[in-house]
Each structure stands twice: as C-alpha cells, then as structure tokens.
C-alpha cells in the first residue's frame, strides 16, 4: 500500500536512478544540477581567483563569450606568452594560485589597507622573491622596491576589479598551508620549496578546519562588500587532489578526502546563509564515481579537457545557455584572447603546488 509522503512528489533529479545513473548511461549533462541563485549574463563582469582549477573556469568563461575581467593587465607590448609566464592572464589578478581561504583573507585585507601588508622578502641568487607569490616573476625582482611596486599594482587591481565587477568566483583548493609563527604571514607554499629557506623554529604548518573556513568566508564576504556592496560571490571547490600532504603520519589520499570534504561542507553551509553567495558543484561533477567518466589524466590528478568541458557544460546549462559555441562575441581584448587560446591549446595550467612532487622524484 502506498500513500502520499515527502518522497512521492519529488522531481527526477532528487533520485539517483533517474538523474545520475541515467546521465552516466547517456553521457549527457545532469539535468537541474545547478540552479543559480542570481542571474548572470555575458555582459556581467566576472572575476576569478583561487586554486589551479580556477584557471579552467577563467578560460571557459572567456571562450563562452562572458566578460571575464583581467583586472591586472600586462605592460603594453608584452606578448601573451611572455605575459603568462609573468603571471598575467591566468587569474583576474597577478596573484598566482590562492589555495586557502586564509590567503585570500590576507590579500583582500592588504587591498583594503595597503599599509598593513607584511614586509617579508626572500633573497635568492641576488634577486628578490615575493613570499606570497614567489613564481610570478621568473628570475625574481632586481630590487626590493620593484617587488613592492609590483605588489602595489596587484593590490590596486584587486580594489579596482572588485569595484567594477558583478561576480567574484573563488575556487577553494586546500586546507593545508604554511605561516610565519611570529608575524602571522601566510605563504603560498612552504618556504624552501619554491624559494626562501625553511626554518623549523619560524615556519609553522596549519591545517584549517570547518570553523576556520567558515570564519574566513565570512571575512571574505565582508571585505568584498566593503569594496563593492552589490558584488555577488560564487564558490567552487577544486576537484584536483593534493600533490602532497604535510600532515604527520597521514596518507595523501585521506588528507585529500579530509581537505575537500571540509571545504565542500563549509562552502555549502556558507552559501545557504546568504542570498548573494552561491555554490557551483564542479567538485562533485569531476569526483563522483557514479558518472563513470574518465575525468583525470594518467597522473590521476590533472582534470582532462573533456572533464573540464563537461563541468562547464553544466555551468552554462544552469545559466540557460544551451549552445556555448554559437554566435559568441569576440573577447574584449586581443591579448586576453591570445592568452586564452594558448592555454586552451596547450592545456597550460599553472599549478604551483605540483612543484612539491619534485622532492619525491628520487623515490620512484
């Protein structure tokens, strides 16, 4: 005997068999996977930042004709390939990868109050590295003054970009990070791996937990709204596994699962609290075994071009765009278009964290 109950009138997408299992068999996108909280058109200026997977989103948005903002432009006359080598056109700002919420809080705080920024500098082979983005200047800066002038330009670009944009997309990547235990400075990578010298008495490992991520997201929203009260936020979680974990006695597989689970849970809860914050399930699309797709390259870490395309088809479907390739407007800047095209052709994703794997090469 059956009777009316909460399950009897659920839509098809609420059931695994008629949504995930059916899509796995057909190869189609999952219907109704993401319903945006707020409208987004191709004319709305969009900022992207975060972990390496955010680069896929930047590229796909530009290719689909959206107004992806390169808020920090390269010097005039610099060709797109060289500009990319120097950190331009990868994210909306020349920040390099921002893997943790704590790092984004730090950067936005400096953008709001430039005098509060940390003054630590790394010296290496006669050049100077910015410890929050050591890879953005190949060979390093010639002087400390040049380093801080470049950082000033980035902080100004962040303020200007946020003020002029409608949507801020942040891809959460990691919970693990490194900090200066005396000053509180958060690094983009462990000192001694991409520059600088590791000091066990000074440099401390931290692994952010659920309450930490929620607190950071709250700060990020406040910081962004100080620059632009009407800006919306779209959170995603990178499906890319950790290259290595610094958690003592922990396998990288369990560390990855812990990190992604914490980020996903925190992002989901935070967006449920605010009408101006949304979540797009890129992590679920790539990592779900139920879809039975080859989402990763042979290294089982890098997302395949087909996987990225599958993710972005869901994004465009949610926005009501069925044919992303038809009658698209040209990219607003030829240098941006060239950089995007090069990235698309080469799958040239800049993922600084993967550099950690070189410390494992002699143990294969």
Give strand pairing partners of 186.
Answer: 179
Please list the alpha-helical segments (H only) found in the chain: 22-26, 53-63, 80-85, 101-112, 144-164, 210-227, 252-273, 282-287, 305-318, 334-346
Is residue 161 one of the residues assigned to a domain? yes
309 has a pLDDT exceeding 80: yes
First to last CA, the chain: 61
Is residue 24 one of the residues assigned to a domain? no
pLDDT in tens, 207-234: 999 999 999 999 999 999 999 999 999 9
Is residue 136 one of the residues assigned to a domain? yes
The total number of residues shown for the chain amounts to 364
328 has a pLDDT exceeding 50: no
- Which residue pairs, CB below 8 angstroms and at least 24 apart, start in 118-127? 118/180, 118/183, 118/185, 120/180, 120/183, 120/185, 121/147, 122/191, 122/195, 122/196, 122/197, 124/195, 124/196
Domain count, the chain: 1
Q: Which domain holds residue 220?
A: 32-350
pLDDT of residue 61: 86
- What pTM was estimated for this model as a whole? 0.91
Is residue 15 one of the residues assigned to a domain? no
Task: Specify the residue for token string 């950190």.
Answer: 87
- Any idea which of 58-62, 134-138, 177-181 has the lowest mean pLDDT? 58-62
pLDDT of residue 260: 98
């Amino acid at each position: 005997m059956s009777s009316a109950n909460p399950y009897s009138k659920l839509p098809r997408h609420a059931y695994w068999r008629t949504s995930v299992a059916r899509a796995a068999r057909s190869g189609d996108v999952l219907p109704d996977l993401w319903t945006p909280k707020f409208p987004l058109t191709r004319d709305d200026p969009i900022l992207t930042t975060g972990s390496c997977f955010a680069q896929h989103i930047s590229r796909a948005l530009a290719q689909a004709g959206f107004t992806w903002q390169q808020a920090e432009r390269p010097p005039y006359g610099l060709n797109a390939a060289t500009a990319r080598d120097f950190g331009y056109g990868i994210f909306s700002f020349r920040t390099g990868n921002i893997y943790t919420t704590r790092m984004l809080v730090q950067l936005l705080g400096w953008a709001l109050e430039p005098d509060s920024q940390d003054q630590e500098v790394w010296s290496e082979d006669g050049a100077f590295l910015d410890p929050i983005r050591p890879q953005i200047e190949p060979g390093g800066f010639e002087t400390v003054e040049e380093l801080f002038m470049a950082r000033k330009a980035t902080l100004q670009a962040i303020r200007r970009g946020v003020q002029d944009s409608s949507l801020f997309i942040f891809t959460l990547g990691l919970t693990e990070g490194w900090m200066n235990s005396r000053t509180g400075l958060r690094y983009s990578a462990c000192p001694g791996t991409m520059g600088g010298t590791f000091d066990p008495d000074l440099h401390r490992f931290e692994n952010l937990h659920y309450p930490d991520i929620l607190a950071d997201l709250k700060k990020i929203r406040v910081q962004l709204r100080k620059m632009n009260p009407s800006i919306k936020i779209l959170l995603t979680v990178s499906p890319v596994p950790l290259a290595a974990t610094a958690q003592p006695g922990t396998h990288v597989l369990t560390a990855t699962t812990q990190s992604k689970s914490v980020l996903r849970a925190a992002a989901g809860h935070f967006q449920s609290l605010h009408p101006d914050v949304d979540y797009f399930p890129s992590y679920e699309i790539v990592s779900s075994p139920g879809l039975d797709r080859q989402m990763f390259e042979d290294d089982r870490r890098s997302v395949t071009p087909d996987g990225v395309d599958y993710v972005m088809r869901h994004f465009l479907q949610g926005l009501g765009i069925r044919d992303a390739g038809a009658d698209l407007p040209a990219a607003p800047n030829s240098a941006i278009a060239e950089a995007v095209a090069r990235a698309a052709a080469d799958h040239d994703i800049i993922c600084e964290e993967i550099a950690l794997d070189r410390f494992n090469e002699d143990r294969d």
